[in-house]
Structure 1
Amino acid sequence: MWWKAGKRVHPATAIVPATLVALVLVPGGLMNARHIDARMWATNGPGVLWAVWGLALGAATFAYWLRRRGQCSRCGRH
């Protein structure tokens, strides 16, 4: 975001869209897996990788959230 150059960005600005995209990619990839047959494998086969991409994006988003969260109000740990 060019208007935020050099300024801090709230973590939710990245976490919310990434979570939404991950939640859309996984079912989309699984739907492609249902429609793979001998005639359409080249068309629907690569779409199965959407599920892998969605899981990887979800894992990366979760790791980012863990890294950017603040201190615990009870114990003071990160």
Structure 2
Amino acid sequence: MPKHFYPNSRRFDTPSFAELLKPLQAILMTVSPFKSRGNKPLEVTFEHMLKSLIFFHLEEHTSGRHLLQIL
């Protein structure tokens, strides 16, 4: 017997950006900052990188270039 598709039978509950970031807030306080290996100081912190990675996966961007254009 074929399976029937009922779109309302299953609710997909995807977490929001704030819900994903909430457990990481305490951990981010203990992470040591990045150190630059050259003369130029770093402009991006680990927190910025983590937030952009979460945003990238939630918004389903097609490429890193597309993500940078939106940011």
With the shorter chain as reference, the TM-score category is 0.3 to 0.5
Select the structure that is richer in helix: 1
Give TM-score, length-normalised by structure 1.
Answer: 0.30
Q: Which structure would you say has the larger RCO, counting Cα contacts within 8 Å and 6 or more residues apart? A: 1
